Amino acid sequence: MQYAASDVNSHDRYKILTAFVLPRPIAWVTTLGPTGVVNAAPFSFFNVFAEDPPLCMFAINKRPDGRIKDTWSNIERTGEFVVNLADEPLALKMHESSGDFPPDIGEADYLGLRLAPSVDVKPPRLADAPWAMECKVWQTINVKDDRQLVIGEGLRFHIRDELWDPKAMRVHMDKYHPVGRMFADRYCRTNDRMEFPPAPVVKAKAAE
């Protein structure tokens, strides 16, 4: 079975992409509203793409009724945000924060999420997140006026102490249990893992 992208509508393209490109990491983005309300919203069109500078990117689309999401309004105004990751203990609240909240009600406050101050940006981070990255906007790309691709430059990392070996610069995988987005309201755990031997190094054939 095959589809030309031009032969299916945008809703069906979304279903085709999200049904197979998975599991996807989730950026749980905190931003600061104009009155000090802390917005926390998850986005699964997300990943990190570079380390020098450290760059991440996520997509913010408009609401079905055409309204601009609070996350985009806040980022457009301030140029700052924090990407938090969710693990299993936080997964349900992360999902619940994807609901429709008015601008004057912050998801963090409504759901009882603990906040901690950031260092280099004004939006706070989620205190219980296993990992968070303070970001400033590096670049934005407008896609057909209904979606913004936000590329953020990481300024500071926050890591839950028990998850990190600072000498080896490695995560303790036995203690870190992130969740991934499948599709619709379905998520996955990451406890069933595989480990392979080093990949082969194949030498070029000698010239004859």
pLDDT, tens digit, 9 for 90 and up, residues 94-146: 999 999 899 899 999 999 999 999 999 999 999 999 999 999 999 999 998 88
- The pLDDT value recorded for residue 158 is 98
Q: What CATH number is attached to the domain comprising 78?
A: 2.30.110.10
Is 206 a member of any domain? no
Is 70 a member of any domain? yes
Query: Radius of gyration (Cα) for the chain, nearest Å?
Result: 19
Is 86 a member of any domain? yes
What does the alpha-carbon distance between residue 122 and residue 180 come to, in Å, rounded to a whole number?
Answer: 27
What does the alpha-carbon distance between residue 150 and residue 179 come to, in Å, rounded to a whole number?
Answer: 22
Report which of 99, 97, 78 is spatially closest to residue 27, judged by C-alpha positions: 97
Range of the domain at 182: 5-188
Is 76 a member of any domain? yes
Is 196 a member of any domain? no
* Cβ atoms of 179 and 26 closer than 8 Å: yes
- The pLDDT tens digits for 133-187 are 999 999 999 998 889 999 999 999 999 999 999 999 999 999 999 999 998 889 9
Q: Which is it for strands 180-181 and 80-84: parallel, antiparallel or unpaired?
A: unpaired
Length of the chain: 208
Is 157 a member of any domain? yes
Per-residue pLDDT band at 66 (split at 50, 70, 90): confident
* Cβ atoms of 113 and 107 closer than 8 Å: yes
Is 204 a member of any domain? no
- The pLDDT tens digits for 9-32 are 988 998 898 889 889 999 999 999
Is 114 a member of any domain? yes
What does the alpha-carbon distance between residue 78 and residue 31 come to, in Å, rounded to a whole number?
Answer: 9
Percent of the chain with pLDDT over 90: 79
Looking at the predicted structure, is the pLDDT value of residue 67 above 90?
Answer: no
What does the alpha-carbon distance between residue 37 and residue 195 come to, in Å, rounded to a whole number?
Answer: 43
- Structural domains in the chain (count): 1
